[in-house]
């Protein structure tokens, strides 16, 4: 496991989308290390199997489910598999995100559609299905529902070349606030995390380029964030300690955005 448990999530079941690499895989490891049953979901089943083996070898409990977040039937099937293994998913980590780079005049319409399908529709389908099941299982009385949506600092920072990605991340923040308000009496808390720039599989090529190095040099602390910087915010928002926190956006960016 990556760290010793910080918050006790024993008895919780968390579903993490796009858990095959990057911060999604990190989230799965940290949640499992803190006692949660973890359902790792993505399209790359081979990577999910390896992650489950790693978690189980360290004493955690995990299953892998194949999930295309933009497909409703796939989403329903993923939750069915999660419930069969662990019961109702009470902690939903909507972490799906694909990038779309290019000036607005150069972005093909099909690329726009794909980005919106994963980043916005995917969050909608993942969170809606989980919330429906939580409500049916009595979340209004238990007050155990936790939804954490991964957004981005680009939702607020004007980033030429990232117009579609930025728009979808701004969209999920507002969507999350609306869902938080709709479910405020249903025992489901919905919060958003806005990470800064982290070197992951998605961004590695850029940050190893001359342009990426220049971008990092322009940050106030002249460095990238670490994946571990998100550990405590994730665990806090997933835990009983966050019972009074909903509709909130947490920016964790090492001062990159100001």
- C-alpha separations of 179 from 146, 164, 184, 185, 221 in Å: 12, 22, 8, 11, 35
Question: Three-state SS string across 28-92, please?
Answer: HHHHHHCCCEEEEEECCHHHHHHHHHHHHHCCCEEEEEECCCCCHHHHHHHHHHHHHHHCCCCEE
Q: Which entry of 165, 175, 183, 197 is annotated as an active-site residue?
A: 165
- C-alpha separations of 199 from 137, 216, 223, 226 in Å: 39, 11, 10, 8
58: Cβ contacts below 8 Å, ≥ 6 apart: 1, 32, 33
Is residue 79 annotated as part of the catalytic site, yes or no?
no
CA 28 to chain centre: 10
Active site residues: 165
């Amino acid at each position: 496991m990556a760290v010793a448990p910080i918050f006790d999530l024993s008895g919780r079941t968390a579903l993490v989308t796009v858990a095959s690499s990057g911060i999604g895989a990190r989230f799965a490891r940290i949640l499992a290390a803190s006692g949660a049953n973890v359902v790792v979901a993505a399209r790359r089943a081979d990577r999910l199997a390896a992650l489950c083996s790693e978690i189980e070898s360290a004493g955690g409990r995990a299953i892998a489910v194949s999930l295309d977040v933009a497909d409703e039937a796939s989403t329903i099937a993923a939750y069915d598999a999660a419930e069969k293994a662990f019961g109702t998913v009470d902690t939903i980590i909507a972490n799906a995100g694909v990038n779309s780079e290019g000036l607005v005049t150069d972005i093909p319409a099909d690329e726009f559609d794909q980005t919106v399908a994963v980043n916005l529709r995917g969050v909608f389908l993942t969170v809606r299905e989980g919330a429906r099941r939580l409500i049916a299982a009595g979340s209004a009385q238990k007050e155990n529902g936790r939804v954490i949506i991964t957004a981005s600092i680009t939702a607020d920072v004007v980033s030429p070349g990232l117009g579609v990605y930025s728009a979808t991340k701004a969209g999920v923040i507002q969507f999350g606030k609306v869902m938080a308000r709709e479910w405020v009496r249903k025992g489901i808390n919905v919060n958003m995390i806005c990470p800064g720039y982290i070197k992951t599989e998605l961004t590695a090529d850029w940050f190893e380029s001359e342009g990426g190095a220049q971008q990092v040099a322009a940050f106030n602390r002249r460095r990238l964030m670490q994946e571990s910087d998100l550990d405590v915010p994730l665990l806090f928002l997933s835990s009983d300690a966050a019972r009074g926190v909903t509709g909130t956006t947490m920016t964790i960016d090492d001062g990159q955005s100001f």
